[in-house]
Chain A
Amino acid sequence: MADVKTFVPAPDRAPPSSAVGPIAWIRDNLFGSIGSSIATLVFFYLFFSYVPPFVEWALINANWTGSDRSVCEANAAGACWTFINVRLEQILFGLYFASNPDELWRPTLIFILFFALLLPLLFEKTPGKKWLTIALLGVFPVVFYFVVYGGYFGISQSNTTQWGGFLLTFALAFVGILLALPIGILLALGRRSELPVIRSICVIYIEFWRGTPLITILFMASVMLPLFFPAGVEFDKVVRAMIGITLFQSAYTAEAVRGGLAAIPKGQSEAAMALGLGYWRRTVFITLPQALKISIPSIVNTFIALFKDTSLVSIIGLLDLLNMAQTTARSMEWKGYDIEAFLFAGFVYWAFCYGMSRYSQNLERKLDTNRRN
């Protein structure tokens, strides 16, 4: 046998200096071509002509303290956050709680509880996440009912027609999301069912609610629904809005989940069948977890849309965050500060929606089992 040569891989060399470093990065990414250079210059021009004046108005020259509009009128060059500060309770918790200072602890406690349960869930290493999740999704809504609605344990019953502000936005969105997910999953499974009756029911439900504007559904729920019930039977307005939102939202969630189910290769359920797993076990253990993982972005997308769409309840006379902020800015006392009201409401919506978006991205990364680590 002849001598066998041993294969020795050539050593890696560092890349040339023209390819790395900040100057190379700027040249490649900002001034790589004529078009890119123009875009860069236009961007910097727009940025420096609009952002510094806005920051000056909104932060540097802004009015933060005081208790009436005289402060803001004295310094008209800055934003009037005094207004938000003074009316904060009304914008966040609505008229009922804002006008009963003794009851303010109720919404405050609820939001403290919510964040106390939510924040630990955002960290990967938190122990007992399963129980925290159950507490947040199962126990928290019950506590919400007893504390915010009241009527038991010596807590006075609050008037839901005077619920409002962020508390109402939160309640509508939370209930909508919580109920729409399981209903939507069942609808999505039903729409893929081999049984024609179940499939038809699901298709009709989904297409009906998805094809109707939310504003119409809310209007119908508020104005039309009572006509079908005998006089004297009265549904709470907020409950009616919650039902309408859930019906609407579950149709959207169903389509998002169906998209995920459709993306699972047939081999997955075949392999599960070949192992002797029945329909529900195949669904619960094999297809659904994978489908939900794929549809996280689109499910969260519908949740974010819902969160903002709750402001449509103004059509039935409920004042959510946006409408409460707007109403406050139209009061005699604070007339003319609409921009501050909208900016504040917009910021609260954005903070929550951005939070949901980031959380979903984390979840996607965490559930990605294809990474090679």
Chain B
Amino acid sequence: MTTDTQMAPAELGESIITIDGLNKWYGQFHVLKDIDLDVKRGERIVICGPSGSGKSTLIRCINRLETHQEGSIVVDGIELTDDTKHINDIRREVGMVFQHFNLFPHLTVLENCTLAPIWVRKTPKREAEELAMQYLERVKIPEQANKYPGQLSGGQQQRVAIARSLCMNPRVMLFDEPTSALDPEMIAEVLDVMVGLAEDGMTMLCVTHEMGFARKVANRVIFMDGGQIVEQNEPEEFFNNPQNDRTQLFLSQILQH
């Protein structure tokens, strides 16, 4: 990131994700408690909190990688139920970037990017490849298109993973700790790409502990603990004037060093 100044506030549209009274259990363990969350089109949300607080589970519920037991999740006007067709309709519109990249190691970078457009969107192969090259250029690794993921560095792999999601033209991007598995010198290259996405108006939900990124990009920072949303606010307020003692403790712990 080149500057510390905050981005201009996004032009917020209507709601794209509406979560209402969400509860989830892993067996006896109550992992998400009464979550209400409304995400507007173009909004950029950073979710932070201690490990085990349910933040990854929350965003994984949005594209149904996890099922919930109570409450409703509506994405782009479609409610998430057991109906496989609805689930795939939503997954098509919601991109996800994982902590461990999860690139397909047996496919080249280009094939990683074109697989879903060709088979899910039914884009002709040539068109899908052109699109993929556009996005690979955007994440600044077009020259790696014919290599396999195992030949790339962690930062490059994560940028491919972002390009792979973008190739589906998603309306929302979910980031699940995208920089936590990276070596320090590679974090910046991934964050740069994410900042660029935010500048283009992408709706983003990021689980991350990169507070510099949160300050610069987020419209809203959400702090979770014990499966609940403890506090949410604009970044300035959130960092300078946390309201809850749990938030204050967390911030003091991660900002100490």
Report whether over half of chain B's contact residues are helix, strand or loop; otherwise say mixed: mixed
Partner-binding segment picked from B88-96, B127-135, B136-144: B88-96
Contact partners of B65 in chain A: CB under 8 A = 270, 273-274
Query: Contact: A274 with B96, CB < 8 Å?
Result: yes
Closest residue of chain A to B167, judged by CB? Answer: A275
Please measure, in the bound complex, the distance between the C-alpha atom of A274 and the C-alpha atom of B115, giving whole angstroms. 13
0 or 1 for each of A142-175: is its CB under 8 Å from B? (1 = yes): 0000000000000000000000000000000000
Closest residue of chain A to B161, judged by CB? Answer: A271
Take A267-B98, A270-B98 as given contacts and tell me if A275 and B116 are in contact as well, using a CB distance cutoff of 8 Å.
Answer: yes
Please measure, in the bound complex, the distance between the C-alpha atom of A116 and the C-alpha atom of B110, giving whole angstroms. 35
Query: Contact: B106 with A369, CB < 8 Å?
Result: yes
0 or 1 for each of A37-59: is its CB under 8 Å from B? (1 = yes): 00000000000000000000000
Please measure, in the bound complex, the distance between the C-alpha atom of A277 and the C-alpha atom of B104, giving whole angstroms. 13
Query: Contact: B105 with A290, CB < 8 Å?
Result: yes
**Counting CB contacts under 8 A, is B151 at the interface?**
yes
**Counting CB contacts under 8 A, is B150 at the interface?**
yes
Shortest distance between the CB of B245 and any CB in chain A (Å): 36
Contact partners of B103 in chain A: CB under 8 A = 271
0 or 1 for each of A269-282: is its CB under 8 Å from B? (1 = yes): 01111111110010
**Counting CB contacts under 8 A, is A367 at the interface?**
yes
Interface residues of A in 290-327 (CB under 8 A from B): 290, 293
Please measure, in the bound complex, the distance between the C-alpha atom of A293 and the C-alpha atom of B107, giving whole angstroms. 13
Query: Contact: B92 with A276, CB < 8 Å?
Result: yes
Query: Contact: A274 with B91, CB < 8 Å?
Result: yes
Please measure, in the bound complex, the distance between the C-alpha atom of A370 and the C-alpha atom of B98, giving whole angstroms. 20
Query: Contact: B95 with A274, CB < 8 Å?
Result: yes
Neighbour of A276 across the interface among B88, B98, B104, B106, CB < 8 A: B88
Query: Contact: A278 with B150, CB < 8 Å?
Result: no
0 or 1 for each of B154-190: is its CB under 8 Å from A? (1 = yes): 0000000100110010000000000000000000000
**Counting CB contacts under 8 A, is A5 at the interface?**
no
Nearest 6 A/B pairs, CB to CB: A271-B102, A370-B150, A275-B116, A267-B102, A369-B148, A274-B96
A–B complex contacts, Cβ < 8 Å, 19 sampled: A268-B102, A273-B64, A273-B65, A273-B91, A274-B91, A275-B91, A275-B165, A276-B88, A276-B92, A276-B116, A276-B120, A277-B119, A278-B84, A290-B105, A369-B106, A369-B148, A371-B150, A372-B150, A372-B151
